[in-house]
Amino acid sequence: MDISLVCDENSEMNYPLSSEDQLERSNTDTGYSTPGGHSLDYSCTISEVSCYSEPSILDEPLALPFGLPISKLVGRASPVITKLRMKQHVDLLDEKLGNDDVANSELEMMKEKFSKLLLGEDMSGSGKGVCSAVAISNAITNLYATVFGRCHKLEPIPPEKKSMWRREMDCLLSVCDYIVEFFPSFQNLPDGTTLEVMASRPRLDIYINLPALEKLDAMLLEILDSFQNTEFWYVDDGKQSSIACTSRSFRQVIHRNDEKWWLPVPCVPVSGLPERSWKELKQKRECANQIHKAAMAINSAILAEMEVPESYLAALAKSGRASVGDSIYRHMSTSNKFSPDYLLDGLDITSEHEALEIADRVEAAIYVWQRKASMSNSKSSWDVVKDLMADGDKYHMLASRAESLLLCLKQRYPELSQTTLDTGKIQYNKDVGQAILESYSRVLEGLAFNIVAWIDDVLFVDGFVKRR
C-alpha cells in the first residue's frame, strides 16, 4: 500500500477508524484534547500562565453561559482558559523557559509563594492559618517591602525588581476577576421569548478603585524612572573626607542625624541646581503629593467600610471623657468655636508616638459618643423631647468635633502609623476584595510619601547651598 495515500489529507479514501481514533477526532472537533498520562505536568495555576505567556489571539475570552461569575477587569487576561488553551500556553511556557534557568527559578518561586498563600501561612497544613483576606493582605505588604524596602534614593527601580513587582502584583490582583455581584438582566431567545436572568459584573468598589490604584502605581514608577542622569547625587558617611563632612552637615540640616542616620544624603553642585531642574523637581513633587492624597483617600474609604471588630467595641471605656482625658474633653465641650489646630498646638506633641496615642484615644471616644447618641435617639417620644437637647445633640457635637480633631491630626502627621482600630479591622477582616484594595492603597500611599520626602530633601539641600 502506498503510504502517501494514507497521509494525504485531501484523499477521498475512507479507512476504518479505531475506537481511540474516533474518540480523538470527536475531542478535536469540539476543541478539547484527549488527556494523556502527562497532563498532570501542566497543573499550574491560571495566574502563573497568564503572567509568563505572551499575548496571542488565543487569549480572547470564550462565550460563557449567562450568569457565570467571570469578569475581565482593567485589561488583564481573561481567567477563562480551556484545557486546549492551557496546554498550548504551557507548551509555549516550556519552550521559553527551556533555555532560561533564571525564569524557571522564578516560576518555582511563584509556585511556592502561592502555595503558602493558599495554606494561609500555616506550613503544617492543619488548617490553622489565617483567613484568605489577611493572607493576601500580608502578601501584598511583604512584596512591597521586598521590592521597595531598600529604595532610599530618587532613581529608577532595578529592572528585575520592577518585573517582580508587576508580575506578582498581577497575579495577586487577578483574584479580583472573580469577585463579582449579580444583577437582574434580560435575555432574548431565538423564538422571541424574553427571560429575566441573573448576570454578573465586577463588584462596585473594585470596579471603581482598582483601576485607579493601578493608574497611580504606574504613575509612581514613571516618576522614579524619570530620575536618570540627574544633576544631584547621594553620598554616605564613610566616603571621602570632604564629602563626608558635607554629608554630615546636610544630615543635621535635614534633621536625620539621629532618627534616620542610615539614609543617604543628597548633594547638589556648588552653585545649586539649575532653574530647569528645580522646576522639574517641583512638578514631580506636586504630582507625587497628589498621588499620595488620592491613595490615602481610597485607603480611608476602604477602612471606613470595614466592620469594627467586636473585641474593639468591648474594650471601649464607659465614657468619652475617660478616653480623651480631662484637658482635651474640657476644650471640646466648653468652646463655642472649636478649632482642632488650636487644640493640637496646645497639646505640644513632641513625637509620632504621642500623636498615635492621642489618635487612638480620640478614635475610641468617637465610637463611645456615637453609641450614646444612638441610644438617646432610641428612647420613647416623651424622653426624646425632654432629653434630646441635653444628651443627643451634645454627643453628636462631641463626636463631630472628635472626628475633625482626628482628621487634623492625621494631616499634620501624614507618616503616622495605623491606629489600633485600623489594625484590628485589617486583622479581623474577611472580605478579600477589601483586603486587596486596602493593602494596595496603603503601600502606594507609603511609596508616594517617600518620593515626596526624598524630593523635599533635595530641594532643601539646594536651598541651603544657594543661601550660603
Q: What would be the CATH architecture of the domain defined by 233-467? A: Up-down Bundle (1.20)
pLDDT, residue 100, reads 62
Buried residues in 405-437 as b, exposed as e (16+ CB within 10 A): bbeebeeebeeeeebbbbebbbebbebbbbbbb
**SS3 label, residue 187:** strand
Neighbouring-strand partners of residue 197: 185
- Please identify every stretch of the chain with a pLDDT value under 50, giving residue numbers as ranges: 1-72, 74-75, 77-90, 97, 238-249, 251-252, 257
pLDDT, residue 156, reads 93
pLDDT, residue 392, reads 59
Kindly report, residue by residue over 68-119, the tens digit of the pLDDT: 343 445 445 444 333 344 444 445 555 554 556 666 777 777 777 777 777 7
Can you tell me the distance from the alpha carbon of 264 to that of 251, in angstroms, rounded to the nearest whole number? 9
pLDDT, residue 445, reads 94
pTM above threshold 0.85: no
pLDDT, residue 229, reads 86
Can you tell me the distance from the alpha carbon of 30 to that of 417, in angstroms, rounded to the nearest whole number? 57
Single out the residue of 312, 153, 282 nearest to residue 224, CA to CA: 153
pLDDT, residue 36, reads 37
Length of the chain: 468
What does residue 367 show for φ and ψ, rounded to 5 degrees? -70, -30
pLDDT, residue 378, reads 52
Question: Which residue spans within 189-342 are E strands per DSSP?
Answer: 194-202, 233-235, 265-267
Contact 232, 325 (CB under 8 A): no
The residue type of 333 is S
Can you tell me the distance from the alpha carbon of 5 to that of 58, in angstroms, rounded to the nearest whole number? 33
